[in-house]
């Protein structure tokens, strides 16, 4: 009987290890790609990363991180390209991914914040004709702030938008500074929920604050 | 022992599955291409339900490693293409995979049905004329009609109200708002003075203007349809105040969850402007005054259903001294009082992914009281319209549209003690299909049937348009259509007549790359059943033709923040209608029209500068002293206008200051002449030079924040 127990125990342990190996695979793949994002610069690199994240997102139907990062990579890919039509395509896709992510993780501050960022970038494609979409973008960030008032990215995105808005429309460096300083403080205090949680933006804040 | 085997088997299989032990390592590679064997870069190749996969490079090539034993699915997807899948069997070694993806039709990559049409609004394709662009056309002073007149095919307004398109009279262009006909899109009209459109450009999110034929959804216009869509729910609650040298406007936008309300009012009085800023060439006994009050209510009944209702009422008054009365052929004082009520409500809904529908109900009531020196005239114009439209999506982008509309109109006219009137029931049904044969070829075919109870006539109007995409940014189009229109109310009040008819043929070539737009169009219009006026009676015996070429070039790219537009129209037209003794070129047509527009934004100073130069060759006018009818031509027309916008903030609220000067050089403009027994009178614009200054203040609106 003892042999039976040891054997069953070994098999169960084996099975559990198997399952754990799969989740380890998830964490490892995600971590690797998230770290790689920091170094990327070209549109092709960002879109390849987006594909990888999307693949993981299709396989892991409960996780929202892959879809979030896929959208983030598409956003960055869009920012890196000059072709306006491509930008529109990528931003549209990013929004679709974020809507799917929202279904997997509702009332998530990071998702709303990124949605707001994408919407601001959509306006930047053709500001003279799309300025009216600003209110919708503002709303996303307001929701993001409500869901997590300590989210540094909310203030980074809001501050960045004000920074690039001409002074006549109520924007500019001085107007943006308080918002950016708040973001910086929150970045320093930011305790990551888990190793995959978004923590981008620190460099961006410093870049904006040091602009003359 | 048996029991133990039962226990072990599931555990064993579970652990094996969990580890996928001893799976084959496969090296998978191949090419992703489209149906024309062109490589598709950045396509995503994925082993279903796994992390394994790759992204194709610029040659369409991809490769990756995966560990499998049994057959598995590989899915391939790329932007603009339908996703495809392939079942891969590890036991049958496949050398390289070749996948051909089918293109997905989207509005971005497909040929567009826009031959002969100018579509504005962010979602519109074709020559985009956004509200800002319309508002910043020098000389137009934010009047939709003034702005549209700078497009090729549309003629300069020589004192006529409305849009004269390709040799058609201004009455041949009709305006539609949210699909509903607008019978009176103008403020009080007096001949020889081009009236402004009643609606502000900012009330609309899309403006589509066709010069060469239009959809079977619309009818009752021989030349062109101007179709506008009102804005949707305001994004937030805020106030907008406009102060002008000619009056003031106030708009309150309210947003509450899924309902929106816009309340507006305006009052214009030209006396101060006429006296101090723009000396008038005509004498006013009563400077023009006008006031409008109204609201628009919108409700998102569900995610896909939207209800809108627009209501406005306006009053206008003006009086002119020494106005040329064509009835008595003498100069008289004239005084005009106009009242106008307009109600337009629509409900749009979506039954499913494939079915959309829309219903509309509109009511319009206009009353004019005109006092001449001796005579008193009055006009009443009422129209009730009901409309139903359904749209069905075939495949990815092809659509079928069908619907029905009913118009009830009641017209009456009084002159001193006598009066006459008529009522008409007009019933129309239409069916139209936009069929995309592939990504490069689309044809639109439509049929419209109308039946009028007063005219006791019906008509059948076929319409066809074929568009072929010759390259990634260019396309060719051909269109043919028949168009019918009721004779003018003035005629119908005297006698029952038949529909007037026009047949339009157009050939169009368009090139639209990023920032550059080129459009050229050749057209021929054949008119028949036009109204001939013999005094005692009228007939439908008139006819005519119009043919010509329109060229348009716009460059938004060469110089940053600078846009310029050049357009040229050539028009050769003759017709025999009204009281013409024979065919002649009508007085609203210019042989050559040329427009040059400039617009530039100066970021550093937050200023925008724009200017327009217009040339139109002299048009014909009636000279009773001339041997030949309509053989005299007025002098050529030149107009140079300038405008500027300055963006700033007043008390932290977004403000725009603007200036608009029409005919800044003060060139003497002569539209034509009128003759009485003794002398000749010149028809000129009301002011030699027209200056408009204004400020728009938005309170509680930060929508101008941008990256």
The C-alpha of B87 sits at a distance from chain A's nearest C-alpha, in angstroms, of 17
| Token pair belonging to B220 | 């009752």
Q: Are strands B53-55 and B418-438 parallel, antiparallel or unpaired?
A: unpaired
Partners of A29 on chain B (C-beta within 8 Å) are 51
Chain A: residue whose CA lies nearest to B120: A129
CB A55 to CB B53 under 8 A? yes
- Which pTM was predicted? 0.79
B53, B235, B601 member nearest A136 (Cβ):
B235
Question: Can you give the pLDDT at residue B21?
Answer: 54
CB A162 to CB B4 under 8 A? no
Question: Can you give the pLDDT at residue A69?
Answer: 96
Whether A206 shows a pLDDT value over 50: the answer reads yes
Average pLDDT over residues B652-679: 85
The Cα B499–Cα B485 span in angstroms is: 6
Partners of A52 on chain B (C-beta within 8 Å) are 51, 53, 55
Whether B652 shows a pLDDT value over 90: the answer reads no
The C-alpha of A12 sits at a distance from chain B's nearest C-alpha, in angstroms, of 7
Whether B321 shows a pLDDT value over 70: the answer reads yes
Q: Per DSSP, what are the bridge partners of residue B259?
A: B256, B299
Average pLDDT over residues A37-51: 91
Average pLDDT over residues B169-195: 84
CB B132 to CB A129 under 8 A? yes
CB B601 to CB A128 under 8 A? yes
Per mean pLDDT, which range of A74-78, B476-480, B483-487 is the poorest? Answer: B476-480
More confident residue, B122 or A53: A53
ipTM: 0.82
Asked if A172 is an interface residue toward chain B (Cβ–Cβ < 8 A), one would say: no
pLDDT class for B18, splitting at 50, 70, 90? very low
| Token pair belonging to B207 | 């403006």
By percentage, how much of chain A surpasses pLDDT 70?
86
Average pLDDT over residues B670-682: 83
Looking at every residue in chain B, the average pLDDT score rounds to 85
What are the tens digits of pLDDT across the range B595-633?
999 989 887 888 889 999 999 999 999 888 888 898 889
More confident residue, B62 or B10: B62
CB B44 to CB A84 under 8 A? no
* B171-194 burial code (b ≥16 CB/10 A, e <16): bbbbbbbbbbbbbbbbbbbbebbb
Question: Can you give the pLDDT at residue B424?
Answer: 95
Q: Is the distance from CB of B357 to CB of B391 less than 8 angstroms? A: yes
Q: Is the distance from CB of A76 to CB of A105 less than 8 angstroms? A: no
The C-alpha of A211 sits at a distance from chain B's nearest C-alpha, in angstroms, of 16
Whether B159 shows a pLDDT value over 80: the answer reads no
pLDDT class for B119, splitting at 50, 70, 90? low
Q: Which of B82-91, B130-139, B697-706 has the highest mean pLDDT?
A: B82-91
Query: Can you give the length of chain A in residues?
Result: 212
Whether A100 shows a pLDDT value over 60: the answer reads yes
Question: Can you give the pLDDT at residue B412?
Answer: 93
The Cα B641–Cα B137 span in angstroms is: 9
Q: Is the distance from CB of B39 to CB of B1 less than 8 angstroms? A: no
DSSP symbols for A124-146: HHSHHHHGGGHHHHHHHHHHHHH
B11, B49, B130 member nearest A8 (Cβ):
B11
Question: Can you give the pLDDT at residue B298?
Answer: 95
The C-alpha angle with vertex B595 and arms to B589 and B598, in degrees rounded to 5, equals: 160
B46, B53, B647 member nearest A169 (Cβ):
B647
pLDDT class for A17, splitting at 50, 70, 90? low
More confident residue, B706 or B681: B681
pLDDT class for B181, splitting at 50, 70, 90? very high
Query: Can you give the length of chain B in residues?
Result: 707
pLDDT class for B301, splitting at 50, 70, 90? very high
The C-alpha of B75 sits at a distance from chain A's nearest C-alpha, in angstroms, of 10
Per mean pLDDT, which range of B85-89, B402-406, B424-428 is the poorest? Answer: B85-89
More confident residue, A107 or A17: A107
Whether B168 shows a pLDDT value over 70: the answer reads yes
Average pLDDT over residues B213-223: 89
B411 phi/psi in degrees, rounded to 5: -115, 135
How far is the first Cα of chain B from the last one, in angstroms, to the nearest whole number? Answer: 74
pLDDT class for B557, splitting at 50, 70, 90? confident
By percentage, how much of chain B surpasses pLDDT 90?
40
DSSP state of B154: B
Looking at every residue in chain A, the average pLDDT score rounds to 86
Question: Can you give the pLDDT at residue B123?
Answer: 37
More confident residue, B75 or B655: B75
Average pLDDT over residues B97-101: 88
Q: Which of B222-226, B447-451, B633-637, B703-707 has the highest mean pLDDT?
A: B447-451
Task: List A residues 48-107 in contact with B (Cβ-Cβ < 8 A).
Answer: 48, 51-52, 54-56, 58-59, 83-85, 88-89, 93
pLDDT class for B150, splitting at 50, 70, 90? confident
Whether B707 shows a pLDDT value over 50: the answer reads no
Whether A58 shows a pLDDT value over 60: the answer reads yes
Q: Which of B230-244, B357-371, B555-569, B648-662 has the highest mean pLDDT?
A: B357-371
pLDDT class for B542, splitting at 50, 70, 90? very high
More confident residue, B609 or A193: B609
Average pLDDT over residues B109-122: 53
| Token pair belonging to B273 | 């402007």
Average pLDDT over residues B519-537: 93
The Cα B474–Cα B39 span in angstroms is: 22
Average pLDDT over residues B239-267: 91
Whether A95 shows a pLDDT value over 80: the answer reads yes
Question: Can you give the pLDDT at residue B129?
Answer: 60
- Give the ranges where B488-643 is alpha helix by DSSP (H): 489-492
Whether B569 shows a pLDDT value over 70: the answer reads yes
Output helix, strand, coil percentages for chain A, rounded to the nearest 5: 80, 0, 20
Average pLDDT over residues B235-260: 89
Task: List A residues 99-128 in contact with B (Cβ-Cβ < 8 A).
Answer: 120-121, 123-124, 126-128
pLDDT class for B515, splitting at 50, 70, 90? confident
Average pLDDT over residues B375-402: 91
Q: Is the distance from CB of B612 to CB of B639 less than 8 angstroms? A: yes
The Cα B244–Cα B694 span in angstroms is: 4
pLDDT class for B568, splitting at 50, 70, 90? very high
| Token pair belonging to B73 | 């699915």
Question: Can you give the pLDDT at residue B152?
Answer: 81
A21, A89, A165 member nearest B706 (Cβ):
A165
Whether B140 shows a pLDDT value over 80: the answer reads no
The Cα B488–Cα B411 span in angstroms is: 11
Whether B124 shows a pLDDT value over 50: the answer reads no
Question: Can you give the pLDDT at residue B107?
Answer: 55
Compute the count of residue pairs across chains A and B with CB atoms less than 8 Å apart: 136
CB neighbours of B594 closer than 8 A, spacing ≥ 6? B566, B567, B568, B569, B614, B615, B616
Average pLDDT over residues B373-379: 87
């Amino acid at each position: 009987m003892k042999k039976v127990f040891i054997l069953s125990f070994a098999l169960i342990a084996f099975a559990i290890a198997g399952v754990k190996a799969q989740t380890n695979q998830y964490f490892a793949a995600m971590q690797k790609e998230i770290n790689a994002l920091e170094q990327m610069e070209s549109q092709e690199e960002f879109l390849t990363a987006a594909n990888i994240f999307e693949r993981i997102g299709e396989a892991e139907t409960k996780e929202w991180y892959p879809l979030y990062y896929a959208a983030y990579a598409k956003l960055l890919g869009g920012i890196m390209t000059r072709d306006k039509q491509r930008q529109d395509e990528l931003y549209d896709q990013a929004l679709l991914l974020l809507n799917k992510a929202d279904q997997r993780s509702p009332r998530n501050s990071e998702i709303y914040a990124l949605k707001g960022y994408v919407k601001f970038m959509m306006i930047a494609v053709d500001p003279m004709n799309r300025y009216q979409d600003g209110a919708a973008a503002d709303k996303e960030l307001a929701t993001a702030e409500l869901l997590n008032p300590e989210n540094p990215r909310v203030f980074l995105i809001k501050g960045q938008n004000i920074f690039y808005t001409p002074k006549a429309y109520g924007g500019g460096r001085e107007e943006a500074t308080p918002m950016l300083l708040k973001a910086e403080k929150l970045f320093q205090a930011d305790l990551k929920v888990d190793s995959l949680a978004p923590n981008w933006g620190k460099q961006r804040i410093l870049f904006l604050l040091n602009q003359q | 022992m048996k029991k133990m085997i039962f226990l072990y088997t599931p555990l064993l299989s579970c652990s094996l599955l969990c580890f996928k032990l001893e799976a084959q390592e496969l090296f998978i590679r191949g090419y992703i291409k489209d149906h024309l064997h062109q490589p598709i870069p950045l396509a995503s190749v994925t082993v279903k339900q796994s992390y394994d996969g790759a992204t194709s490079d610029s040659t369409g090539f991809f490769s990756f490693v995966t560990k499998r034993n049994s057959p598995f699915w590989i899915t391939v997807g790329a932007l603009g293409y339908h996703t495809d899948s392939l079942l891969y069997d590890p036991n049958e070694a496949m050398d390289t995979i070749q996948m051909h993806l089918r293109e997905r039709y989207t509005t971005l990559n497909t040929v567009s049905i826009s031959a002969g049409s100018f579509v504005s609004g962010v979602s519109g394709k074709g020559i985009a004329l956004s509200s800002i662009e319309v508002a910043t056309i020098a000389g137009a002073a934010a009047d939709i009609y003034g702005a549209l007149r700078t497009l090729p095919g549309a003629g300069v307004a020589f004192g006529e109200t409305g849009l004269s398109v390709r040799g058609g009279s201004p009455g041949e262009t009709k305006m539609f708002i949210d699909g509903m006909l607008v019978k009176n899109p103008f403020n009080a009209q007096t001949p020889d003075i081009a009236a402004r459109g009643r609606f502000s450009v900012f009330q609309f999110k899309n403006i589509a203007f066709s010069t060469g034929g239009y959809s079977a959804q619309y009818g009752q216009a021989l030349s062109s349809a101007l179709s506008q869509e009102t804005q949707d729910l305001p994004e937030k609650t805020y106030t907008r105040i406009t102060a002008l040298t000619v009056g003031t406007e106030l708009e309150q936008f309210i947003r509450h969850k899924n309902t929106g309300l816009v309340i507006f009012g305006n009052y214009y009085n030209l006396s101060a402007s006429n006296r101090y800023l723009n000396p008038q060439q005509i004498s006013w006994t009563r400077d023009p005054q006008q006031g409008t009050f109204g609201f628009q209510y919108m409700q998102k009944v569900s995610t896909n259903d939207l209800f809108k209702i627009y209501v406005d009422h306006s009053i206008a008054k003006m009086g002119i001294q020494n106005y040329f009365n064509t009835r008595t052929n003498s100069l008289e004082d004239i005084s005009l009082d106009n009242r106008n009520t307009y109600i337009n409500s629509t409900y749009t809904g979506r039954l499913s992914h494939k079915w959309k529908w829309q219903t509309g109900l509109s009511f319009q009531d206009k009353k004019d009281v005109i006092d001449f020196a001796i005579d008193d005239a009055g006009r009443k114009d009422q129209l009730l319209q009901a409309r139903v439209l359904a749209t069905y999506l075939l495949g990815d982008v092809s659509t079928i549209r069908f619907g029905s509309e009913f118009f009830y109109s009641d017209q009456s006219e009084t002159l001193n003690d006598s009066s006459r009137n008529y009522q008409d029931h007009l019933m129309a049904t239409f069916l139209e299909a936009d069929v995309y044969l592939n990504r490069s070829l689309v044809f639109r075919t439509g049929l419209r049937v109308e039946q009028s109870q007063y005219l006791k006539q019906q008509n059948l109007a076929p319409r066809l348009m074929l568009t072929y995409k010759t390259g990634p940014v260019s396309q060719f189009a051909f269109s043919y259509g028949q168009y019918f229109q009721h004779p003018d109310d003035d005629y119908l009040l005297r006698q029952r007549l038949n529909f007037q008819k026009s047949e339009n043929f157009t050939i169009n070539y368009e090139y639209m790359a990023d920032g550059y737009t080129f459009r050229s169009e050749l057209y021929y219009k054949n008119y028949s059943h036009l109204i001939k006026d013999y005094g005692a009676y009228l007939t439908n015996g008139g006819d005519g033709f119009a043919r010509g070429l329109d060229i348009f070039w716009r460059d938004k790219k060469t110089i940053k923040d600078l846009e310029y537009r050049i357009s040229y129209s050539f028009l050769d037209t003759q017709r025999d209608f009204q009281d013409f003794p024979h065919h002649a070129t009508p007085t609203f047509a210019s042989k050559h029209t040329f427009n040059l527009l400039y617009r530039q934004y100066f970021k550093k100073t937050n200023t925008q500068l724009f200017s327009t130069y217009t040339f139109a060759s002299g048009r014909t006018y009636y000279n009773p002293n001339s041997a030949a009818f309509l053989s005299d031509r007025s002098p050529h027309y030149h107009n140079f206008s300038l405008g500027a916008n300055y963006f700033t903030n007043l008390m932290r609220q977004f403000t725009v200051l603007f200036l608009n000067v029409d005919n800044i050089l003060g060139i003497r403009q002569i539209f034509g002449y009128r003759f009485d027994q003794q002398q000749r009178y010149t028809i000129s614009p009301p002011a030699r030079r027209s200056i408009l200054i204004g400020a728009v203040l938005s309170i509680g609106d930060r929508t101008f924040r941008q990256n």
